[in-house]
């Protein structure tokens, strides 16, 4: 892990030092965004250093830590819930990998909470990992992103996406357009909250929305020019984040 962190830090430093490639971008009606290549070189950006709530983009860090544990371990599902979930009340346990799948594809808040409950000192470790990645303007207080105090910047999230792109569990699951998860006496059928997973060659994806955060999305895709990474924060709502990011994809 230490070697990966060092390599990514050097890559990002190199990319920042290079001259940026210029495009004729029309400013988007969103708070901040950036487009970068696979080496972390920023192609274009808007308010990429602005600290903002990140909503369910928080789950990318939650699932990154969870993916480093036993994926087949059965985790207890609580009977009492304070958040909505696709998990039926009758379900008592689920495998960690299935919960990661729900958290990434469906952005299921209960799945993220259960994953975090089963990580020792979960939130502290989320913040520690952020520090290790050089995400100096990022702070988590819970695993779902429902709280507006979970904040970051587009530039910080670029570092998280680059690490997550090296994680085969996160890339496999988050890029799925839909999934069927077996449970006792039934199945949970889910569709990705990012509809572009069904039309683009997506490597990694996570969406988010709360009123304080607006519409958010991080996505990495394969293009004719190589991998491209897109970070979008503060779009007007869940309906505008996809058109906004599609405008970035069309230019880069």
Active site members: 56, 59, 107
Using the CB atoms, write b or e for 175-199: b if 16+ within 10 Å.
bbeebebebeeeebebebbbebbee
Burial of 50 (0-12, 13-18, 19+ CB in 10 A): middle
Burial of 151 (0-12, 13-18, 19+ CB in 10 A): buried
From 44, 67, 247, 60, select the one nearest 138 (Cα to Cα): 60
Burial of 127 (0-12, 13-18, 19+ CB in 10 A): middle
């Amino acid at each position: 892990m230490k070697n990966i962190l060092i390599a990514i830090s050097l890559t990002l430093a190199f990319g920042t030092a290079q001259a940026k490639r210029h495009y004729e971008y029309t400013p988007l009606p969103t708070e901040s965004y950036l487009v970068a290549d696979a080496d972390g070189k920023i192609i274009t950006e808007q308010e990429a250093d602005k600290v903002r709530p990140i909503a369910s983009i928080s789950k990318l860090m939650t699932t990154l830590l969870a993916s480093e544990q036993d994926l087949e371990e059965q985790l207890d599902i609580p009977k009492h819930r304070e958040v909505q979930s696709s998990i039926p009340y009758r379900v008592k346990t689920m495998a960690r990998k299935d919960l990661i799948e729900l958290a990434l594809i469906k952005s299921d808040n209960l799945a993220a909470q259960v994953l975090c409950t089963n990580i020792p000192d979960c939130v502290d470790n989320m913040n520690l990992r952020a520090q290790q990645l050089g995400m100096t303007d990022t702070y988590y207080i819970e695993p779902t992103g429902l709280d507006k105090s979970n904040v970051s910047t587009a530039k910080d999230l670029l570092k998280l996406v680059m690490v997550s792109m090296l994680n085969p569990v996160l890339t496999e699951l988050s890029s799925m357009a839909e999934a069927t998860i077996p449970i006792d006496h039934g199945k949970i059928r889910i569709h990705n909250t990012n509809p572009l997973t069904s039309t683009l060659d997506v490597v990694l994806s996570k969406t988010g929305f709360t009123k304080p955060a607006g519409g958010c999305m991080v996505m990495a895709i394969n293009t004719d020019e190589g991998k491209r990474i897109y970070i979008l924060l503060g779009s007007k709502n869940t309906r505008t984040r996809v058109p906004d990011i599609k405008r970035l994809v069309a230019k880069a």
